[in-house]
Structure formats: C-alpha cells, structure tokens
C-alpha cells in the first residue's frame, strides 16, 4: 500500500498548530516566529512534504499552464521557437501544452477550443497558412484571455506581437545579391495576407527600387514556399535557354530555394556563376548543400523566449507600457557560396 501524501494538515497535527499557521510558516511569513518557522521547515523536510501546486493555483485562479499553437513542429524555425518558449517556462515553473495546426484553419480553431477546456492562462500562437478569418481569435480575446502572436501575427488592434523584421531580412538579402553583380532578380514569395511574407516582398521591391533595377512581373511567384513549388517556378523561368533570364533568385523560403537549386543543377545552370540564389530561414540543410546556400537567419529561439516573456508580463499584470505590445527581432544574413560570384 502506498504511503499517503503528506499534507499541511499532517504537519499541523504533529506540531499542534493550525493549518493556516503551518502554511504561513512555509511561506516565510514574518508574522510567524522564527522558532515556529524552523520547526515547521524541519518537519516538512523530514517528511518530504511537497506543496500541492494545483490547489494553490486554483486559489489564485491560474493553471500555470500555457497553450502554444504552431503550424508545424517539424520545421526548424518552429521547433527552435518552442525551445525558447520552454526555456522561459521551465525557469518560471510553468507548463506548456503544444498543438500543431498543420497549416489548417479548422485545426487552428480546434486547438484554441481544446486549450479553453483545459484551461490555460494564455496562448502563444503563429497563424496557419490558411488563416484569413479571425472570428475564432476575436472570441478568445473577448474572454480576456491573453494571446501573444509571433512570426505570423493577427494584425488587429491592441494585439501583442513578437515578429522578425522580415522587411530588413529580405532587403539585406536582395541588396547582397545586387552587390554581387545581380541585375535581374527573380522572387519567390508567400501569401500576401500573412504579414511576414508581405513584408519580405516589400523588402525585395524596395531593394530593387533603391538600386534602380526593374522588377519583371513574370519572375515573381506569389505562392512558392515548398520544394515542389520552387522547382516548378525555376522550370518556368529558367527552363528555356534565353539570354533574358534572371541572374539572381531570392526566395522567402529555404525549401522553395532548394527546389529551384535542384532544378538549376539538373539543367546544367551553374550556381552562383550564372544564377546566385538566396533563401530565408537558415534551415539546417542550407549549410550542407552544394553549394552551401545563403539564407536569412530568423533567431527563432530568441523570438520564442521574447514571446513567452511578454505573455508572462501580461499574466502577471506587469505590462502597462503600451510600447511593449510589439517587439521586433533583428534578422542576420548568413552568406554562403550560393551567392558569392
């Protein structure tokens, strides 16, 4: 038979004290004499007393658990962001429940509903690729449950957001291509209704404009994020042997850049001599490719940490400064052989 769990009531009975006195003594309350605090602490240690955190949290109206919704934990960016979130939760003794949406809006709705049933003290989430309607998010916000969005964010009023400076990352990558001698640069992007892809496209356009370079609309792909989509776009743009083809390619996704590079190599087009290629995300495979691929690093773990710290400031009612509702993480361009002409 298992030994019963030691409670405050057991300690109180043994010491001839009230349960409330034992509780205050364990909390180090100065109203309790040092002698009594010492007696309580010594007995608690001897009997291996463990406080019931669930009961304490219920009294405070908290679960000490947060929900995290991400599109895919298999992606390097999101797994690293989760590592950052978990590091902060571990340091503050909070629990994390993770739900992945697989880029599906209905899954995203189901995840939020599931977390509301647990319940959780707040959410950290990045929108799915299908999310164009936000009624499910607005419903949660109406309940006064805090949400911090990261990377792909809901852009409603007064939302808490942690984002990469996607504009700067794209601008740096395209300007680097131009500095390497590229003058005809193709672009592979993502859906404009998601803030991060919209900002990366804006960075591309502004870098081209700064250097007075024309943008060929036939060389722009608005939805090219996967390896297959990248290969299909490369075949369309580079498939015909013509002098009027791009000498540079910037992709908002390392995966579509990988697809493009594989097609270019199969077609005998030299990288970077004929076409320089840069991606976005700095996925682990980029440094092991041939040639290794230039990419924008998103500082995912830092973003996860910042999102968790922001959420806990809200939960602990320590975020009265409205300027802290938006935070930008600075990207880093990692230059490799795929762009060095």
> What is the C-alpha separation between 154 and 65, in angstroms, rounded?
22
Query: 124 with 66: CB under 8 angstroms?
Result: yes
Range 55-64, long-range pairs (CB < 8 A, 24+ positions): 62/121, 62/315, 63/95, 63/118, 63/119, 63/120, 63/121, 64/93, 64/94, 64/95, 64/121
Tell whether the model's pLDDT for residue 87 goes beyond 90: yes
**Gyration radius of the chain's alpha carbons:** 26
pLDDT tens digits for 170-218?
A: 999 999 999 999 999 999 999 999 999 999 999 999 999 999 999 999 9
Q: Mean pLDDT across the stretch 147-174?
A: 92
What are the extents of the domains in the chain? 8-51, 64-164+300-329, 166-299+333-339
- Tell me if domain 64-164+300-329 and domain 166-299+333-339 are identical in fold: yes
Percent of the chain with pLDDT over 70: 92
Task: Confirm if 303 and 297 have CB atoms less than 8 A apart.
Answer: no
- Per-residue pLDDT at 52: 57
CATH 3.40.50.2300 is the classification of domain 64-164+300-329? yes
Regarding beta strands 248-251 and 294-297, do their DSSP bridges make them parallel or antiparallel, or are they unpaired?
Answer: unpaired
Which pLDDT score is estimated for 296?
98
* pLDDT confidence of residue 324: 67
Three-state DSSP at 95 gives strand
Say which range, 24-38, 50-64, 263-277, 279-293, has the weakest mean pLDDT. 50-64
Band of the pLDDT at 325, cuts 50, 70, 90? confident
Average pLDDT of the chain to the nearest whole number: 90
pLDDT (mean) for 154-175: 92
CA 253, 255, 258 angle in degrees (round to 5)? 115
Question: What predicted TM-score, i.e. pTM, was given to this entire model?
Answer: 0.79
Note whether 66 and 121 are within 8 A (CB): yes
State the pairing for strand pair 332-334/248-251.
Answer: unpaired
CATH of 8-51, one of 3.40.50.720, 3.40.50.10900, 1.10.3720.10, 1.10.260.40: 1.10.260.40
Which of the four pLDDT bands, split at 50, 70 and 90, describes residue 59? very low
State the pLDDT confidence band at 303, using cuts at 50, 70 and 90. Answer: very high
| Residue 338 near residue 278 (C-beta atoms within 8 A) | yes
Residues paired with 65 in a beta bridge: 95
Residues 6+ apart with CB under 8 A from 274: 247
Query: What pLDDT, on a 0 to 100 scale, did the predictor assign at position 322?
Result: 46
CATH number listed for the domain at residues 166-299+333-339? 3.40.50.2300
Select from 184, 259, 191 the least CA-distant residue to 221. Answer: 191
Q: How confident is the model at residue 30 (pLDDT cuts 50, 70, 90)?
A: confident
Q: Which two tokens stand for residue 94?
A: 């909070």
Decide if 21 contacts 32 (C-beta within 8 A).
Answer: yes
> Residue 327 belongs to what H/E stretch?
strand 326-329
Q: pLDDT at position 37, please?
A: 87
| Of the candidate ranges 33-47, 210-224, 272-286, 287-301, the one whose mean pLDDT is the lowest | 33-47
């Amino acid at each position: 038979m298992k030994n019963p769990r030691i409670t405050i009531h057991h300690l109180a009975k043994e010491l001839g004290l009230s349960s409330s006195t034992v509780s205050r003594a364990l909390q180090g309350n100065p109203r309790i004499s040092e002698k009594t605090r010492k007696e309580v602490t010594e007995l608690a240690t001897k009997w291996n007393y463990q406080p019931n955190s669930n009961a304490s949290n219920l009294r405070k109206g908290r679960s000490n658990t947060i929900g995290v919704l991400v599109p895919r934990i298999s992606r390097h960016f999101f797994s690293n962001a989760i590592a950052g979130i978990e590091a902060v939760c571990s340091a503050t003794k909070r629990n994390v429940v993770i739900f992945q949406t697989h880029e599906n809006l209905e899954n995203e709705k189901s995840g939020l509903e599931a977390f509301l049933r647990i319940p959780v003290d707040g959410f950290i989430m990045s929108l799915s690729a299908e999310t164009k309607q936000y009624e499910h998010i607005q419903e949660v916000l109406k309940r006064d449950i805090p949400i911090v969005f990261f990377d792909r964010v809901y852009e409603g009023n007064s939302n808490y957001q942690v984002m990469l400076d996607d504009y700067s990352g794209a601008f740096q990558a395209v300007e680097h291509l131009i500095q390497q001698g590229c003058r005809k640069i193709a672009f592979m992007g993502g859906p404009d209704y998601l803030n991060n892809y919209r900002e990366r496209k804006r960075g591309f356009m502004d870098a081209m404009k700064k250097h007075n370079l024309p943008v060929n609309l036939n060389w722009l792909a608005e939805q090219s994020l996967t390896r297959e989509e990248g290969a299909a776009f490369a075949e369309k743009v580079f498939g015909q042997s013509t002098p009027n083809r791009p000498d540079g390619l910037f992709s908002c996704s390392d995966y579509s850049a990988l697809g493009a590079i594989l097609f270019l190599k199969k077609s005998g087009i030299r990288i970077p001599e004929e076409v320089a290629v840069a991606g976005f995300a700095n996925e682990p495979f980029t440094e092991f490719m041939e040639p290794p691929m230039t990419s924008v690093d998103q500082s995912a773990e830092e973003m996860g940490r910042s999102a968790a710290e922001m959420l806990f400031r809200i939960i602990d009612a320590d975020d009265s400064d409205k300027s802290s509702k938006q935070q930008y993480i600075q990207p880093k361009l990692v230059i490799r052989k795929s762009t060095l002409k």
